[in-house]
């Protein structure tokens, strides 16, 4: 990439984002604050989530409401009739995805989007590993749980972050096998260079929404600095017990001051887009979302979305009502730190992460140089880039961008961060968290 490309990367992505979200201002929202409880509940998040707010007084109240989709009288919320659980469907889907080499991945229709998501994960992981290191003595061990790690796409990131030990868990055993091979390859390459500086690893196959991970650890008393759940937390909002189990797994081994970080689809965005086009199904040439529930009356749990994204994802996931996520996390000592849409995250870290954006590369060069061609053949995908260049009034400049279609898909996602807090103890032995 030339200097010009590097310098103009930010502005064009902004242009792509604006082009992708044009006209979103006319979204209808449910009226705010019809009761005191609703106001209190929603005040913790910056976005006014259009999901109907419910009174959350105790577990029983929302347990009942959240599981109302099991009521077969409501056709929109009918549970599958077969004995297969959604977790099994998800595991089968991921198990069937073949591990692709770098060469094949670079030919994907979403190569820049995939790289852009890797940039987001790298920056997020790096940001919180740095905070953890700042709180520790030099050379103190750093232990991490990569929850729902898939094929180990983040192993290099953990390697670069200089961690000591990694726990990799996933429901898809084939993905974990690929993860093992990836780890062994990285390790042998490092040893080949005469270094032994590689973190140790352990693998856990299982459903993180139903098993207690701690009981499966090589050392169940192990204390962790970071739990990372990338592009997977939304699977646990199938039901309250599953969300609680996942959060307990995220929280219970974390040291006070440690972080639970992740990325997932943003419920606000999923619903707002459906309302805008007045349809439960929408998307573009790269992604399709189908919301399998009444978008005006979603429940807190079990609201199924089918998300299909090029060759990356094609399986059922669940809407995460963020105020409920925050409320449940509190119960396990996780204090909400922040939620940032991918666009805002990019805005904040684009300068710091510019070199990595270019190295991956996470953005496409427009216009293409030499004999190379654009990834998309739809000219509308690059209108924002063309207009940006015209506005500069200079000839022969090249910029880095995402196509409009890629940005439309990517901007559905959000990052999240929680911090584990210290606790005192109740007389009955239960922890009290001051959150
Ligand atoms: C979109 S992939 C993300 C993989 C990896 N975190 C990454 O960023 O590359 C989602 C992963 O979550 C895993 N997963 C889904 N539901 C799960 C569950 N209930 N327990 C454990 N893993 C689960 C899937 O098998 C899949 O590997």
170 is in an annotated binding site: yes
Residue 172 CA: nearest ligand 1 atom is: 25
Q: Which residue has the higher pLDDT, 21 or 188?
A: 188
In the beta sheet, which residues pair with residue 303?
Answer: none
Given this model, what pLDDT does residue 314 score? Answer: 82
Given this model, what pLDDT does residue 133 score? Answer: 97
For the chain, how big is the Rg over CA atoms in Å? 22
Q: To test ligand 1's pocket by mutation, which of 232, 305, 412 has the most ligand atoms within 8 angstroms of CB?
A: 232
| Burial of residue 51, with CB atoms counted within 10 A of its CB: 0-12 exposed, 13-18 middle, 19 or more buried | buried
* Residue 16 confidence (pLDDT) above 50: no
Given this model, what pLDDT does residue 396 score? Answer: 86
Q: Give the mean pLDDT of 209-237.
A: 98
How many other C-beta atoms lie within 10 A of the C-beta of residue 84?
A: 10
Helix residue spans in 204-341 (DSSP H)? 240-251, 267-277, 322-331
* Residue 23 confidence (pLDDT) above 50: no
Lowest mean pLDDT among 79-88, 122-131, 315-324: 79-88
In the block, which residue shows the tokens 């299982």?
Answer: 206
What is the Å distance from ligand 1's center to 41 Cα?
29
Q: To test ligand 1's pocket by mutation, which of 154, 171, 211 has the most ligand atoms within 8 angstroms of CB?
A: 171
Instruction: Identify the band that residue 72 occupies on the pLDDT scale cut at 50, 70 and 90.
Output: very low
Q: Rounded to whole angstroms, how far apart are CA atoms 346 and 126?
A: 14
Residue 208 CA: nearest ligand 1 atom is: 20
Whether cis (ω within 30° of 0) applies to the bond prior to 3 is no
331 is in an annotated binding site: no
Nearest C-alpha to atom 13 of ligand 1 is from which residue? 148
What is the Å distance from ligand 1's center to 255 Cα?
24
148 is in an annotated binding site: yes
pTM for this one? Answer: 0.83
Q: To test ligand 1's pocket by mutation, which of 95, 116, 148 has the most ligand atoms within 8 angstroms of CB?
A: 148
What is the Å distance from ligand 1's center to 167 Cα?
14
Given this model, what pLDDT does residue 192 score? Answer: 78
User: Helix (H, G, I), strand (E, B), or coil: what is residue 245?
Assistant: helix
Lowest mean pLDDT among 117-131, 142-156, 182-196, 354-368: 182-196
Write the pLDDT tens digit of every residue in 314-325: 888 999 999 999
* Residue 415 confidence (pLDDT) above 60: yes
230 is in an annotated binding site: yes
Lowest mean pLDDT among 40-44, 108-112, 362-366, 386-390: 40-44
* b/e code 307-329 from CB counts within 10 Å (16+ = b): bebbbbbeebbbbbbbbbbbbbb
Given this model, what pLDDT does residue 221 score? Answer: 97
Instruction: Identify the band that residue 158 occupies on the pLDDT scale cut at 50, 70 and 90.
Output: very high
Residue 430: partners with Cβ closer than 8 Å, 6 or more residues away: none
Lowest mean pLDDT among 198-207, 239-248, 293-302, 367-376: 367-376
Given this model, what pLDDT does residue 222 score? Answer: 98
Given this model, what pLDDT does residue 287 score? Answer: 95
CATH assignment of 86-347+409-433, among 3.40.30.10, 3.30.420.40, 3.40.50.2300, 3.40.50.150: 3.40.50.150
What is the Å distance from ligand 1's center to 146 Cα?
10
| pLDDT-above-70 percentage for the chain | 79
Given this model, what pLDDT does residue 102 score? Answer: 65
Given this model, what pLDDT does residue 103 score? Answer: 67
| pLDDT-above-90 percentage for the chain | 67
What is the Å distance from ligand 1's center to 407 Cα?
22
In the beta sheet, which residues pair with residue 262?
Answer: 229, 416
What's the mean pLDDT when you consider all of the chain?
82
Q: Which residue has the higher pLDDT, 13 or 391?
A: 391
Given this model, what pLDDT does residue 105 score? Answer: 65
Pocket residues: Cβ below 6 A from ligand 1: 87, 90-91, 94, 148-150, 153, 170-172, 175, 207-209, 230-232, 235, 313
Given this model, what pLDDT does residue 196 score? Answer: 72
What is the Å distance from ligand 1's center to 382 Cα?
32
* Residue 172 confidence (pLDDT) above 60: yes
Write the pLDDT tens digit of every residue in 288-343: 999 999 999 999 999 999 989 887 778 889 999 999 999 999 999 999 999 999 99
What is the Å distance from ligand 1's center to 147 Cα?
8
């Amino acid at each position: 990439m030339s200097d010009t490309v590097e310098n103009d990367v930010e502005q064009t992505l902004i242009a792509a984002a604006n082009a992708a979200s044009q006209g979103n201002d006319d979204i209808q929202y449910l009226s705010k604050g019809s009761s005191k409880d609703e106001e209190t509940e929603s005040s913790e998040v910056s976005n006014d989530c259009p999901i109907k707010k419910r009174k959350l007084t105790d577990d029983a109240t929302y347990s009942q409401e959240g599981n109302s989709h099991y009521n077969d009288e409501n056709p929109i919320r009918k549970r599958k009739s077969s004995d297969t659980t959604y977790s099994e469907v998800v595991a089968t889907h991921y198990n069937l995805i073949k591990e692709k080499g770098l060469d094949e991945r670079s030919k994907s229709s979403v190569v820049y989007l995939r790289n852009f998501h890797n940039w987001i994960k790298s920056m997020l992981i790096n940001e919180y590993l740095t905070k953890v290191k700042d709180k520790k003595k030099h050379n103190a061990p750093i232990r991490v749980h990569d929850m729902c790690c898939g094929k180990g796409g983040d192993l290099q990131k953990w390697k670069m972050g200089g961690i000591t030990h990694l726990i990799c868990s996933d429901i898809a055993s084939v993905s974990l096998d690929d993860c093992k091979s990836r780890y062994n390859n990285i390790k042998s390459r490092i040893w080949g260079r005469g270094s032994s500086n590689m973190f140790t690893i352990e693998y856990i196959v299982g459903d993180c929404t139903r098993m207690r991970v701690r009981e499966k650890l090589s050392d169940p008393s192990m204390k962790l600095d970071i739990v990372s759940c990338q592009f997977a937390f939304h699977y646990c909002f199938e039901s309250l017990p599953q969300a609680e189990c996942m959060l307990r797994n995220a929280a219970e081994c974390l040291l006070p001051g440690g972080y639970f970080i992740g990325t997932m689809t943003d419920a606000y965005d999923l619903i707002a887009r459906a309302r805008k086009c007045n349809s439960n199904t929408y998307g573009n040439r790269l992604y399709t979302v189908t919301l399998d529930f009444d978008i005006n009356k979603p429940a807190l749990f079990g609201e199924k979305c089918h998300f299909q994204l090029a060759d990356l994802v094609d399986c059922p996931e669940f809407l995460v009502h963020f105020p409920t996520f925050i409320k449940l996390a509190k119960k396990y000592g996780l204090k909400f730190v922040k939620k940032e849409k991918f666009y805002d995250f990019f805005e904040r870290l684009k300068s710091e992460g510019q070199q990595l954006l270019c190295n991956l590369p996470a953005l496409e060069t427009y216009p293409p140089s030499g004999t190379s061609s654009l990834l998309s053949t739809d000219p509308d995908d690059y209108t924002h880039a063309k207009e940006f260049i015209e506005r500069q009034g200079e000839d022969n400049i090249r910029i880095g961008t995402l196509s409009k279609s890629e940005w439309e898909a990517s901007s559905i996602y959000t990052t999240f961060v929680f911090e584990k807090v210290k606790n005192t103890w109740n007389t009955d032995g239960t922890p009290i968290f001051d959150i």
